[in-house]
A and B are shown apart, each in its own frame.
Chain A
């Protein structure tokens, strides 16, 4: 099927909206748009960061997910207490595959779940005592932890516990940072506010800890912020930066430690991969510590080269030469990968629906493979994300914000993409519909996808999924049309 025209796409949106009641239809219409590259500001075509409608299937998370799961969780040498009932922490435990180095349970705690396991009596009488006791027990059982964060679940805010007071007291006793985070799940419309709250907690409780202390810096110090090391992403990014001559002082929340975060105010530049979840802290550091920041994109050789040059442009000639050297070194390797996979993937069409940065960042990687992204959308983006997306997407492609289960299925049925990239909740629906699918949150248990090394894996995975022989076997042999029978007869 060829690409849809603007009118066809608009008609498709109208058709999908048809099933909703009048009020819901009006609301949902604002979240669906046809991309128009001439639009400067996304709010003219799409509404985002609004409350999901009750009754539709949204794929969003909550503020707790944004804080504990995304920003704080991957800081490996801290213990993150899921403060409240046991479920929130247990069912999200270790699901994000942010890899780290260390001995779990001894000096790193990334995949473990610590919870205060609230019971009825804690709701009635308050859980502050339990929290204080829990922190004491943690200190005894895991003495090598470098700090504790208290991630509030919904009841904490509802019953009005004073976790700040408990944290301050515990911090004074242990001499380690104890960070209360007010990320109750009911705050905000999606995980996005959780990111913001978590950033604010880092700003207030972590960054000032080394203010005024000595730090032996170099002019080439950078911090990698917002790379969550899914399947090792941050590692395949870091080696490129180091190869071009930069010194990576901190890897935030992807194989990161609290000591690295505390040192970040001394770097020369902050490099932001996930703009949505980490721009707040970058802006804060720009104001307080005069550290410039920039976004970069390490998906696909074209964007990697672009980003390496953009990063190098902020440093002296040594780094600029380094960047060119790195690009030249990997260019033949990347060309070999493109030569291998492009013929197999050329012209295939992709629909994406992810969160954070991927709906726009991976477009370049698909284009390197000759594929086209025909629809993209964010779970929890704000207008500034769509501002950036509009330029990256082709004209007349679909944009959907906080898409509902129904809408997404209908879009896929009508647009008929060759590949859908989204999360685990969508995976089996589309696979049963016979559409090749990749999880773009967890890289479908593969990865890394960032950097040059990541692109090789990305290309292989896309080929593996799209050209899998199983897609030709979606129909039972006895239900196949006569032509195949005739073919056999002829043979």
Chain B
């Protein structure tokens, strides 16, 4: 689990992982509705992370805990 930050407005999220200085666009997010938001997220560089599905945050950026499924390295 790593602390991450999701930035940007609806439709174009940016993923930021401070520990790795990784700042990248999110290409797809499993759930992206106001009620259910999160799940598996895929980054532009090919890495995938998982954030617990939750209600969409009222405003961005937001700090979250994410699980690494597959890093791009």
Q: Which residues in A have some Cβ–Cβ distance to B below 8 Å? A: 41, 43, 49, 280, 283, 286-287, 290, 382-384
Contact of B18 among A41, A280, A287 (CB under 8 A): A280
Give A287 to B16 CA distance when docked, in angstroms. 12
Contact, CB under 8 Å: A290 / B21: no
Q: How far in angstroms is the closest Cβ of chain B from A281?
A: 12
B residues 44-73 touching A (CB-CB < 8 Å): 45, 59, 61-63, 73
Closest to A290 in B: B59
Contact of A384 among B5, B23, B62, B73 (CB under 8 A): B23
Contact of B16 among A283, A382, A383 (CB under 8 A): A283
Contact, CB under 8 Å: A287 / B21: no
Q: How far in angstroms is the closest Cβ of chain A from B37?
A: 17
Contact of A287 among B20, B23, B63, B73 (CB under 8 A): B63
Contact of B61 among A287, A382, A383, A384 (CB under 8 A): A287
Residues of B within 8 A of A41 (CB): 45
Give A41 to B7 CA distance when docked, in angstroms. 19
Additional 6 contacts, C-beta under 8 A, given A287-B63, A383-B22: A280-B18, A283-B61, A286-B61, A287-B5, A287-B61, A290-B59
Closest 5 CB pairs of A and B: A382-B21, A383-B21, A384-B21, A287-B61, A286-B61
Contact of B7 among A280, A286, A382, A383 (CB under 8 A): A286
B residues 1-39 touching A (CB-CB < 8 Å): 5, 7, 16, 18, 20-23
Contact, CB under 8 Å: B62 / A287: yes
Q: Which residues in B have some Cβ–Cβ distance to A below 8 Å? A: 5, 7, 16, 18, 20-23, 45, 59, 61-63, 73
Give A280 to B61 CA distance when docked, in angstroms. 13
Q: How many A-B residue pairs have CB under 8 A?
A: 20
Give A280 to B16 CA distance when docked, in angstroms. 11
- Name 20 interchain pairs, CB-CB below 8 A, sorted by A: A41-B45, A43-B73, A49-B21, A280-B18, A283-B5, A283-B16, A283-B61, A286-B7, A286-B61, A287-B5, A287-B61, A287-B62, A287-B63, A290-B59, A382-B21, A383-B20, A383-B21, A383-B22, A384-B21, A384-B23
Give A286 to B9 CA distance when docked, in angstroms. 13
Give A250 to B59 CA distance when docked, in angstroms. 26
Residues of B within 8 A of A49 (CB): 21
Residues of B within 8 A of A43 (CB): 73
Closest to A42 in B: B21
Give A286 to B5 CA distance when docked, in angstroms. 11
Residues of A within 8 A of B62 (CB): 287
Residues of A within 8 A of B16 (CB): 283
Give A458 to B18 CA distance when docked, in angstroms. 34
Residues of B within 8 A of A280 (CB): 18
Closest to A49 in B: B21
Give A382 to B16 CA distance when docked, in angstroms. 14
Closest to A386 in B: B21
Give A283 to B63 CA distance when docked, in angstroms. 10
Give A49 to B7 CA distance when docked, in angstroms. 24
Give A287 to B7 CA distance when docked, in angstroms. 9
Residues of A within 8 A of B22 (CB): 383
Q: How far in angstroms is the closest Cβ of chain B from A189?
A: 13
Q: How far in angstroms is the closest Cβ of chain B from A364?
A: 23
Q: How far in angstroms is the closest Cβ of chain A from B26?
A: 16
Closest to B73 in A: A43
